[in-house]
Structure 1
């Protein structure tokens, strides 16, 4: 067995003389992110685990990542109870996120997740299909009208953002007229989970967090006076009747459900559409056989994951599948995007293969923190791509796509298309 504290990293494997830190530093730059697949290949040449001065320890192999995500001693908070997020006391965004189920451990995580999980069971998600169809039909009509006569449309603004935010907004009771204003706030808030966010990024995240917290506090006050048939009212009832949610937990949970409820799906739609356009043979295959839509969405998740990384800290010594020992109180950055491109698990991982039938992607994580809304995101994506290919016989890029600034929450800010 190997202990990271006495391991000397080998850096001359797979024709590379660069260290994992040098490679990962490139991943964190805009130029490097444009070649992320090649950088992940380079990291895989060095192994599944990498000691890093930048972020502690990098986990890039699929089996190692899966093991860490499932391990009960790989937690969100340090053994002494301190948050895994640095400088929490300085940033309201980190304090807010730190109260969500995303960043807490059992037993609090178990309690919070149980309160909202009924809304995201397979049966509940399936029951949302008629409402999603209604919203999608209306938005697709708008998109077709704007795309008429060869006009350029932005898929991100015109559909990829609008549909998921409308779905989660309806679930929580956020009025449709207020939903467009949240897009930039949520993007600013994403800096809170970036490995190397700078002070400017975190200042913008704090402003966004304060605005989101204030909004949902107001919504809670309104629903206490006038309850509705929505998830916000249900969570208020759970809090008031059983005292299982503190007021801070209630608001933080609503913020998390709303922001995560559309951002991941938005990026899945944008990243997936771009992947199809860059692989026209696979786009043609999907048009010819729409029955493979479910496997196609899984491959889109693997190929260009909307979430590229997730952090953990060890609360006790853990042993990983190859025998590597990770001591207590070690920070781990699990690079989900790299794990999804592990050549030990995926044949030709840099290729988009919509009929791929290998290991499931780790894009939604695994273990107790597996994304609660994964089923809803998959359903929305399947419905979106089915309808796009049915409505438009030609879909092509009308200019260079634009990426968002961050690496952890990975998506496009603009995808200009011509569609007929």
Structure 2
């Protein structure tokens, strides 16, 4: 096939054929270029973030579907979540020196909820106690601490679910779970039903029960549970392991909250930070106790009213989603902008380093070439001297070969 081109002056214009375009498409960029390396890293990070976001959306959609279509399954979902995420969090916190977060109040309440659902599902006193803790201070922390449900972050998703699922599980256990799905025996029976293809659990939902001395188990027992935990937390963090925490740089909830409060510099920070360390700890513990009392007071009407309990569960879901959307609109663009600046500086420094390496390599190659040229010149000079010496020896014969007359 002949190439066709337009001639301008004496030079023909270059013409690209289909084969040339195919060759151009098959060219692979140089993987050693810093920009290419950074682009590959950015694409890999974006892919991973997309996968995390999809997993977060799946968890959110699955939770809403379970709450609307099969509310009786919420206790099972909570138990599965606890069995999977508790060990994962323990390993993750151990690696990041966050292991003292595992003695926070929410972990104790999650464990108490799991123990009640598995071994004491029909104990009305423990139900009132655990329900007050799960839907009281633990659920109230979602609003008080403005916990955002960021779908692309596994840490945010697990944190929100740890504060959200215990109350949902206790609500479903009280109002929606049939008798054939309560306790470890009911769970084992339901697992056998699933093996035979039966999805719906057996039995009917028993009416909500109220313990004797209701106010004792709804108010006094949760506060006693909180006080015992607070004393245990103080003993572990501020007495037994205080020097170990400060020496090795471990994080605790008190340190984290103090840092956040100092950053915001609000009224609560100024109130807590006045005076000595003992006063700070007492004020901090007193404020947490007051927060627990307020949350339990908000929970009490929902314990006696099913419509109020349903509305409260909706509020618990709406607030984290709202905080998460606000986080996506404000924090994520800032992180992307800062990440872009960081990537620019990294690429710029990598390119400068690569240019310096190329210049150094060129200088070394030039020095090597000059050394080779000098060796060649020296070898040529030696060869020329030897050639001249040989020619001189041929032009002047030895003395023994000269005629005797000349010698005489």
**TM-score of the superposed pair, with normalisation by structure 2:** 0.21
**Higher helix proportion, which one?**
2
Report 1 or 2 for greater relative contact order, CA contacts < 8 Å, sequence distance ≥ 6.
1
Of Structure 1 and Structure 2, the greater strand share is in 1
